[in-house]
Amino acid sequence: MTAIHGVIFQSDGKSTVGRIFIRPLEALDRWIAGILPRPHEPTLAMHAGLHVTIDAEREYVVEQLVGSLYLNFHNGLNWTPLHAFRQRDRGGWDVTVPAEHFRAVDPDLVDRAIPRLNAIAGHPFVGEDCTAFIERAFGGRQRMFADSPLLRSLGVGVRIGDPALPLLDPDAPLDSNTRDKLQFEVIKRLPDALADASSPNGRNWLLQRGLPALTVGTLLGVLAEHYSSSSRRSTPVSSTARRFLR
């Protein structure tokens, strides 16, 4: 990998994972931040990666993906050709923002990220989502995406990992298309993050703890009901009870 173009944002227009899990989980935070799109406006970003060049000529996206058991629980890191990445837009869009337009990133940090990316190890998605991977690629010491606006309003700083809430420099010289897609005039006013870059991600914590607990609880409930019903069907009626029933 020889160059980093920046952070590439994507809104997949037909993503099942995005429609069922990502957007509903983030809708309240986006509403509080004031960036829910109105009818006929572009949908918001739900994924982000690093737009890079390999061998000075081939463009790729380094990204953390979710979906299969391998990606979720072993290694979600992918080096995707840019043209293949864009095939996932499917009626959506993608834009690239130079990394130095983030508040916490300067050109020196971008230069130091190149050798780091060339040696970076993959993590499972349940431990690291796409925004946490981007922050790790730049050293893992600075926040590049906002805390949950909902919990922030309650005085609690928690990482939520929403690619629609990047912490960009308010004076970033973005083109009009990028400004519109990211709703830049709103997100440029997002407050700096309170939570440490190494703190747990709220959404991934839910995936790791909440959903397994709910699944186990539901399974135990089904098993308990099954064995309870079987016990009622197989328990013999005593002779005393039979006389009483007559």
Tell whether the model's pLDDT for residue 184 goes beyond 90: yes
For the chain, which residues make up each domain, given as ranges?
3-200, 213-245
Residue 50 has pLDDT above 90, yes or no: yes
Integer distance in angstroms from the first to the last C-alpha of the chain? Answer: 86
pLDDT in tens, 151-181: 877 777 677 889 999 999 999 999 999 999 9
Q: Contact, 76 vs 65, CB < 8 A?
A: yes
Band (pLDDT 50/70/90 cuts) for residue 214 is very low
Q: Which residues contact 30 (CB under 8 A, 6 or more apart)?
A: 36, 44, 162, 164, 165
Tokens 């953390």 sit at which residue? 64
pTM reported for the whole predicted model? 0.78
80-134 confidence digits (pLDDT tens): 999 999 999 988 999 999 999 999 999 999 999 999 999 999 999 888 999 999 9
Enumerate the H helices of 34-129 as residue ranges. Answer: 69-73, 82-87, 107-118
* 162: Cβ contacts below 8 Å, ≥ 6 apart: 26, 29, 30, 131, 145, 146
- Given a contact cutoff of 8 angstroms between Cβ atoms, the answer to whether 24 and 206 are in contact is no
